[in-house]
A and B are shown apart, each in its own frame.
Chain A
Amino acid sequence: MTHIIMAGEQMEADVLVIGGGPAGLMAAIHAAESGAKVTLIDKANTVRSGSGATGNDHFRAYIPAFHGPDMEPVVKEVAKSQAGWTRPQSFVRTWMKTSFDIVKMWDDWGIPMKHEGRWEFSGHTFPGKPFTTLKYSGQSQKPILTKEAKKRGVKIVNRVTAFDLITDHGISGAIGVHGREDKIITFSAKAVVLCTGGCVRLYPGPTPGWMFNRADSPHTTGDGRAMAYRAGADLLNMEIPMRWAGPKYFAKCGKATWVGVLRDPRDKPVGPFVTKPDRIYGDPISDSYKGLFEDYMKTGKGPVYMDCRGISNEDYDYMMHYMKHEGLHGILHHFDEEGIDLRENPIEFMTYEMTTRGGIHYNEKGETSMPGLYAAGDEYFGGISAAATFGWIAGGKAAGFAFGRDAPSKNAGKESSEALKNLVREMRNRKDGPSWQEINVALNQVMSDYIGPTRSDTLVEAGTAHLLRIKEKARKDLVAKNQHELIHCLEVLNLLDVAEVIFAAIKERKETREKYIRVDHPYKNPAFDEKVLVCRKGPEGPLTEWKAIND
């Protein structure tokens, strides 16, 4: 085996955007429009990277022409939704107030935001409640946003994975590792926007032997959360679990686009909201009760089926159109392979694995707890509209911050770059040791066995000890046979850091509240009312702190 040296390279910008999903591309576009010199780096290729790779179709928005002049009912409804219930109302208000501007921009750029020439709202809606999700056709959103970013002079560097922020003299850029060449790049910048998406591959997925079968993109592995944490920024609500549901075993699925009724094996609807397929509502029972499918299986009453039988021809065409735009070609192709016809065949649904709902603590200006460091999108889950809106806002703010400071010194990042070079060199040159898969599987086991649906002090204690042993092994022994495996090794190191924070947060929140359950503390603790749990790095591991909700 040849000895890998790792070449070094330098790049400079006013604003560095890390991650080119909808959040990162919107941040880059706004920062460049504001006059900043912008570099955007992406682990994959911004044309098709991230969870919005081949499309989305529901965009939370307040549209005056549709909703009327009063925005408040929409704000209240979004604040209760899966995307808003852990956010302060002021955050949701800024989001809704800005959303229409974003919708108009996207429509102008060629992302169709209207259905047959009109604003159409459907899905994720409870009968009698305000509509909040605009239907749009997002299949080409990524190529279009990429084009708009390039038009404004954004320099896009694809296939580079950021691994650490540069923190000498404040936030001064980041260090990235190339996914195809043995190369480490130091990006020096006056402000950084983290937009690396969600935190997939923490828990075992629906097909544990097939690890990349996931609802969200499996190459989004909590890198932003881990980088922010290591740099000293606050993470928020990491203990609060989030779960998706969808067709059993085929995870890239998008649930809310299905127009059918969720029924038990005797054809009885399992929820109270719909009794026949209705494109306006879908079946919202699984919005408020994601564990439904798992509970029906556990109690022997299941399985539960998504039953589109009886759908009108018009609604069937509507559903098929939007399934394509939500990026569901994979499952549509599978229908063809197997001769499945949704008008005749009810499809079994399941509850997918957990991840964390929480993430980087960013406010309605996209600011994190560290000056010069901004974050947006699924760095704290919010869906596509939050990603686009807060990406836009964060990009503008980051540009403003960059104009107010000098360029970082030439030496900034030297030390961290050397440290990363050594770590990477070791992983690339080692001969025997665990692969990234081994560590990822071991991590998945600890997550589901010790802080899965059942959580308690004794489980957290035992699980933390085991996790730390895995982490030590990973740092010391991981082997990467090529750059592709190297990136996976770095992802796994990030996931381990995120996992450690989640363990610490669960240890601290000794109560049961909403979707957070501790079997050894089955009651709400009023001391935590109106408070959120923040985690940050301490000298010996994660520190936790309770803060008032609006801090």
Chain B
Amino acid sequence: MPPIIDDSKCTGCGVCAEHCPQDVFFGSEIKKTPVIAFPEECWHCYACVLDCPVPEAIRLRTPVPMMLSYR
């Protein structure tokens, strides 16, 4: 479920947890990998990915109910 953090890359800087408008990372502590406490409340605004200073430390996965229908 969105978002997904790569433990081996994340520095625990806390930026994603500070910026998330929905407080998906509620309960996170600085210097630790953030906890994804409420993944189902992600709005897919992408702020956490855009603002993370470490390349590929955090990414989103689109939940299946939100898959686009196309041809």
Interfacial residues, chain A to chain B (CB-CB below 8 A): 44-45, 47-50, 53-54, 139, 159, 179-180, 207, 209-214, 217-219, 247-252, 303, 305, 327, 329-331, 333-334, 337-338, 340, 345-348, 482-484, 487
Contacts and interface: CB of A to CB of B under 8 A. Distances in A.
A333 B51 CA distance: 16
A212 B68 contact: no
A246 to B, nearest CB: 11
A252 B67 contact: no
A334 B43 contact: no
14 contacts: A48-B45, A53-B21, A139-B50, A213-B65, A217-B22, A219-B43, A249-B66, A250-B66, A252-B45, A305-B71, A333-B49, A333-B59, A334-B66, A483-B26
A338 B67 contact: yes
Contacts of B56: none
Interface string B4-41: 00000000000000111111001100000000011011
Chain A binding surface, main DSSP class: loop
Nearest to A252: B44
Contact of A207 (B18, B38, B45, B65): B65
Nearest to B42: A212
Chain B binding surface, main DSSP class: loop
Interface of B: 18-23, 26-27, 37-38, 40-47, 49-51, 59-63, 65-71
Contact of B68 (A44, A250, A327): A250
B23 A209 contact: no
A47 B15 CA distance: 11
Contacts of A346: 70-71
A26 B37 CA distance: 32
A24 B7 CA distance: 36
A210 B21 CA distance: 17
Given A210-B66, A345-B70, A329 B43 contact: no
A327 B70 contact: no
B51 A338 contact: no
B43 A212 contact: yes
